[in-house]
Amino acid sequence: MSHALSSSRPLPFEQGPPRFDVGLAPIEPQAWLMPDDQADWLAPKNALMDTESDAVFASVTGSMPGQLEAAQLVATACGQSFDPGEPPLFAASRLVSDDLVLMEMREGAWTNTALCLCSPTFFSAHEAIGKSLFALHRPVPGGDPGLGGRISRVFSLLRDELVLERFNWTVQWSDARYTPDATPLRAAATAAALDAARDALHVRVERQTIRRLPQTGAVLFTIRIRLYRLADLLADQALASAFQQAWHEANQDVRAYKKWESLERHVAALLCDYAGNP
């Protein structure tokens, strides 16, 4: 993945359709979590954590050392401290817009042992907790064992102080960040008139990073969500051309996995309006 995507407005569709590959590239450690360009999400995120803590956080027995090391690393990067009265990973998640996912080796497989998931792209913390990389990637075409195995090897070979970054993207109906279940969004899109697409369609970009925790050997996986109204992007001719190409080049496996069928007519209408294509 190109370092150009690490700009203030990473738009990975400029590099083509979503791909089921590892796509990780190194970044400077100081660029890991700061500056947090999505800091406006912190207040509603913390409110969500206060009201839905059981829904957004999960952990397994034995994860506390890894949680604590991860929380200390996040707090140091932010120049802040975390509340010692809360589970460490949960408390550290209050400091950044990113979701935090702790992966540890369990019974020979990298396994999710704790996570705080406030901006999930259509899955929940309790669906992920306790699952291996292979199980987490099973829904992805070629994910188990192919992609899961490749990511597992990357995890196992991570060096201290190395931070790796990748981007993923999709299109969704609405600007909601907390989306553990996409069913209501897809139902709304299916029922909506075409003129609703201009305000409702958004490109959802995931900025993902991984880094090794030196003391415990765990891996901390972070996810930062950025949302862009598609109509605003299409107003730029170059972006409209790039998006149109990426959208049309996405193969059927991608479209089926992303469940884009409810959005197809809306995207086509916007492309017609903004890209000048029939």
pLDDT at 277: 47
pLDDT at 140: 72
Residue 185 falls within a domain, yes or no?
A: no
pLDDT tens by residue, the chain, 278 residues: 333 333 456 899 999 999 887 789 999 999 999 999 999 999 999 999 999 999 999 999 999 999 999 999 999 999 999 999 999 999 999 999 999 999 999 999 999 999 999 999 999 999 999 999 988 877 776 555 677 788 889 999 999 989 999 999 999 999 999 999 999 999 999 999 999 999 999 999 999 999 999 999 999 999 999 999 999 999 999 999 999 999 999 999 999 999 999 999 999 999 998 865 44
Please name every residue paired with 23 in a beta bridge, in sequence order, or none if there are none: none
Residue 59 falls within a domain, yes or no?
A: yes
Torsion of CA 100, 105, 111, 115, to 10 degrees: -20
Q: How far is CA 245 from CA 15, 16, 151, 166, 200, in A?
A: 10, 7, 28, 21, 21
pLDDT at 152: 87
DSSP 259: T
How many distinct structural domains can be found in the chain?
1
Q: Could you write out the DSSP letters of every residue in 180-216?
A: S--HHHHHHHHHS-GGGHHHHEEEEEEEEEEEE-TTT
Residue 70 falls within a domain, yes or no?
A: yes
Distance CA 131, CA 115 (A): 12
DSSP 159: P
User: 207, 232 in Cβ contact below 8 A?
Assistant: no
Residue 16 falls within a domain, yes or no?
A: no
Residue type, 250: A
Residue 119 falls within a domain, yes or no?
A: yes
Residue 253 falls within a domain, yes or no?
A: no
On the 0-12 / 13-18 / 19+ scale of CB atoms within 10 A, 20 is middle
Packing angle, helices 264-274 and 237-249, rounded to 10: 150
pLDDT at 2: 31
Length of the chain: 278
pLDDT at 276: 53
Residue 63 falls within a domain, yes or no?
A: yes
Domain residue limits at 81: 22-180+205-227
Distance CA 259, CA 205 (A): 16
Q: Which pTM value belongs to this model?
A: 0.92
- Which residue's entry shows tokens 């590239």? 25
> Checking DSSP bridges between strand 201-212 and strand 219-229, what pairing results, if any?
antiparallel
pLDDT at 142: 59
Q: Is the peptide bond before 35 cis (omega within 30 degrees of 0)?
A: yes
Residue 197 falls within a domain, yes or no?
A: no
- Which residue's entry shows tokens 């947090």? 36
Q: Is the dihedral of CA 52, 57, 60, 64 positive or negative?
A: negative
